[in-house]
A and B are shown apart, each in its own frame.
Chain A
Amino acid sequence: MDSTTFVALLSSVLFTIGVLGVLLRRSALLIFMSVELMLNAANLAFVAFAHRWVQLDGQIFVFFVMAVAAAEVAVGLALIVTIFRTKRSTNVDDLAALKG
């Protein structure tokens, strides 16, 4: 098993953990962290394949992803803090005000 396969497998395991975290967890903060995990799993795959095919596109793409993720963290954490302040909870199931 060469290193690329190994990294790709690690990336998919991390991505799966992220997906399961989003689907199963109720805390907004943990869902947020799982989303980050999925993004980084994708980054890992990008880097691994960029290295394997000796092309820089993947690595450049990772920078963009990280930049966007940073911005998203700023906005997302701010939202979660506000939600916690109004609801006294970060449980996403409590956010049902729009449900008919």
Chain B
Amino acid sequence: MALFILSPILFPLLGLLINALWGRRMSERAIGGVATLAAAAAFVVSMLMLGQLTAAEDARLTATIAPWIAAGALNVSFGFLVDRLSIVIMLIVTGIGTLIHMFSIGYMRGDERFQRYFIYLNLFLASMLTLVMADNFLVMFMGWELVGLCSYLLIGFWFKNLKNAEAGRKAFVVNRIGDVGFVLGILLIFVTFGSLSFADVFGQAEAQGETLAGAIGLITLLLFIGATGKSAQIPLFVWLPDAMAGPTPVSALIHAATMVTAGVYMMTRASALYELAPATQAIVALVGALTAFVAGTSALRQLDIKKVLAYSTVSQLGYMVAACGLGAFIAADFHLLTHAFFKAALFLAAGSVIHGIEHGMHAAHNSAPVDPQDMRYMGGLARKMPVTFAAFLLGGLALAGVPPLSGFFSKDEILLDAFKHNLPAFALLAVSSVVTAFYVGRQLTLVFAGRPRSEAAAHAVESNWLMTMPLIALTIGTVFAGLFNFPGAHPLTDWLAPVVRHGDAPKFDAPLAAVFSALAIGALAIAWFLYRNPDRAQAEAETGMGRLLAKAWCFDDAYRWAIVKPFYIISTVCAQVIDVGVIDAAVNGVGRLFHTLGNSLRSLQTGFVRNYGLVMLIGVVFVVAYFALNAR
């Protein structure tokens, strides 16, 4: 039984083991096949577990593999838990992960480190599943860190370009900052509750929440700091746009299925704690809404096809976090689910576009090389790449919240909650929602409409079936994922209600939904109208406001001036002044002292026997004189 519960983690591990041990002798297809099958097996097992969980409302599969830490009051074991919440995330991770694995076989073809790529990809999946299936905070933290490691490895996968390596490092460092908050939160949980297992902590919190209100407020705040790192919220979102440096399927994996959802999952898991901390809730809601707004507006002026999607991910994560802050944890999970589908579809479609442009560059021999991700050189791809276009279009419309696609339902649920509970957050989220539709329209127009604006775009061709198949599957999901929590029926809410706290029963507010659909469609239309003239994108990026937005409100510059530069100065002082001037000087000084001493004493040793003889004579004279004078 324990093996069965662990198998979603074990299958990817097995896949990476096979690839690591025998991958050198296997063909690319075989390596990719093993990795994809491992991911698919994890998905199948998760489906089997889903079947078992439907038996009863509080059905849960638990397995304790071994004790981990037993020191005094601290008792942690490698415990795993699958309940109604984790199974939902597991299905997203493995399902979308499998499609991304499959897409990668086509995308990474011919890469010199193909084998290593799939090893990392499987490890990523196993890490994320460890995080999701943990039954205590420490095992969750282990998965949390492993996910961070994998993101570092994959973002910096093409590390020969220094910029990519730096992006990987940035992701790692920024995530560590959030992790400090998470670790402190875990420690405080242990101090407060004397245990780290979910069951104990949430049970105790429920029983004596009133008396522990202060501690719980601090715990939830610290955990939220961890979430701002992983789930890319203000102030730690800066790593995510840079994470575009990795191969595009990796971006899809990080943005849709794994990694960034970790923070939202963790907050949902700890919903029992968050519900007892209204002050934290307010902060969370505001930070989420602000992130949605800042990142959404930043996406308006990006010229890189992936950067637009990156900021849009940050923005959508802002929606999820804001929903957590509003107490609508299930709405957050619903948006997580639909976002996973449409963002994976968008990223893989973007990958397909980049692949097509690169192919076009090879096909058009005498064309000037262009940046394959720069939207200024695209245009007119709708006819060249119809499947990709369809996927991108439907994914984009879902992101913009156009009914009846999945994004419409999930976003609407969050907006409705905000409208009822927190008007400032609602204002920010509402503006972001219109902004979202606008940048989606801009991107669709720039990439797919009009005429090709470069030789490469003119020669672009549709990708092969290995890449279009996952696209089609994800697009189907994008269209129909709304059914998971369709207004009126709410199967997802009913499913999660026993394990996740949630505010009011979800309602569907027709006027509100109608207003936002109309706004979204209007924004899309305006964007299409404006950006049919592609020079506009170029011109806009050069205005003052455009530059501010293109640089994402200058968060990076602010960090550079406030933290990185002073840190460099301190490091330089330590290295040049303290190390060289004090520590090295002390060591060298001792050496120099004896060197000088030796040099001066050395002149005594002339090497002439006569000198030694003279000294001896003088000595003898003294000795004799001494005895002669003392004789009487």
A interface residues (Cβ-Cβ under 8 A, vs B): 19, 22-24, 92-93, 96, 98-100
Distance between Cα atoms of A45 and B42 in the complex (Å):
111
Distance between Cα atoms of A92 and B605 in the complex (Å):
16
How many residues from B make CB contacts under 8 Å with A? 8
Distance between Cα atoms of A23 and B607 in the complex (Å):
14
With A22-B613, A92-B609 given, name 14 new contacts (CB 8 A): A19-B617, A22-B610, A23-B610, A23-B613, A23-B614, A23-B617, A24-B610, A92-B608, A92-B610, A93-B608, A96-B607, A98-B607, A99-B607, A100-B605
What are 16 sample pairs from A and B whose C-beta atoms fall under 8 A apart?
A: A19-B617, A22-B610, A22-B613, A23-B610, A23-B613, A23-B614, A23-B617, A24-B610, A92-B608, A92-B609, A92-B610, A93-B608, A96-B607, A98-B607, A99-B607, A100-B605
Q: Which residues of A contact B608 (CB under 8 A)?
A: 92-93
Q: Which residues of B contact A92 (CB under 8 A)?
A: 608-610
B interface residues (Cβ-Cβ under 8 A, vs A): 605, 607-610, 613-614, 617
Chain B residue at minimum C-beta to C-beta distance from A19: B617
Distance between Cα atoms of A1 and B608 in the complex (Å):
41
Distance between Cα atoms of A19 and B615 in the complex (Å):
12
Which DSSP category, helix, strand, loop or mixed, fits chain B's interface?
helix
Q: Which residues of B contact A98 (CB under 8 A)?
A: 607
Distance between Cα atoms of A42 and B51 in the complex (Å):
118
Q: Which residues of B contact A22 (CB under 8 A)?
A: 610, 613
Chain A residue at minimum C-beta to C-beta distance from B609: A92
Q: Which residues of B contact A93 (CB under 8 A)?
A: 608
Per CB-CB distance, the 5 closest pairs between chain A and chain B, nearest first, are A99-B607, A23-B610, A96-B607, A23-B613, A23-B614
A21 → chain B, closest Cβ, in Å? Answer: 11
Interface centre among B605, B607, B613, B614 (most CB of A within 10 A): B607
A79 → chain B, closest Cβ, in Å? Answer: 13
Q: Which residues of B contact A24 (CB under 8 A)?
A: 610
Distance between Cα atoms of A93 and B613 in the complex (Å):
13
Distance between Cα atoms of A20 and B534 in the complex (Å):
107
Q: Which residues of A contact B607 (CB under 8 A)?
A: 96, 98-99
Q: Which residues of B contact A99 (CB under 8 A)?
A: 607
A27 → chain B, closest Cβ, in Å? Answer: 12
Q: Which residues of B contact A100 (CB under 8 A)?
A: 605
Chain B residue at minimum C-beta to C-beta distance from A98: B607
Q: Which residues of B contact A23 (CB under 8 A)?
A: 610, 613-614, 617
Chain B residue at minimum C-beta to C-beta distance from A22: B613
B525 → chain A, closest Cβ, in Å? Answer: 93
Chain B residue at minimum C-beta to C-beta distance from A31: B609
Q: Which residues of A contact B609 (CB under 8 A)?
A: 92
Distance between Cα atoms of A23 and B608 in the complex (Å):
10
B608 → chain A, closest Cβ, in Å? Answer: 6
Q: Which residues of B contact A19 (CB under 8 A)?
A: 617
Distance between Cα atoms of A99 and B613 in the complex (Å):
17
A3 → chain B, closest Cβ, in Å? Answer: 23
Distance between Cα atoms of A89 and B617 in the complex (Å):
27
Distance between Cα atoms of A19 and B613 in the complex (Å):
9
Distance between Cα atoms of A23 and B620 in the complex (Å):
14
Chain A residue at minimum C-beta to C-beta distance from B610: A23
A25 → chain B, closest Cβ, in Å? Answer: 9
Q: Which residues of A contact B605 (CB under 8 A)?
A: 100
Distance between Cα atoms of A100 and B605 in the complex (Å):
9
B616 → chain A, closest Cβ, in Å? Answer: 10
Distance between Cα atoms of A96 and B608 in the complex (Å):
8
Distance between Cα atoms of A22 and B620 in the complex (Å):
15
Q: Which residues of A contact B610 (CB under 8 A)?
A: 22-24, 92
Distance between Cα atoms of A93 and B608 in the complex (Å):
6
Interface centre among B605, B610, B613 (most CB of A within 10 A): B610
A97 → chain B, closest Cβ, in Å? Answer: 10
Distance between Cα atoms of A13 and B605 in the complex (Å):
30
Chain A residue at minimum C-beta to C-beta distance from B617: A19
Distance between Cα atoms of A22 and B614 in the complex (Å):
9
Distance between Cα atoms of A22 and B610 in the complex (Å):
7
A14 → chain B, closest Cβ, in Å? Answer: 15
Distance between Cα atoms of A96 and B611 in the complex (Å):
14
Q: Which residues of A contact B617 (CB under 8 A)?
A: 19, 23
B599 → chain A, closest Cβ, in Å? Answer: 12
Distance between Cα atoms of A92 and B614 in the complex (Å):
15
Distance between Cα atoms of A23 and B613 in the complex (Å):
7
B598 → chain A, closest Cβ, in Å? Answer: 11
Chain B residue at minimum C-beta to C-beta distance from A20: B617
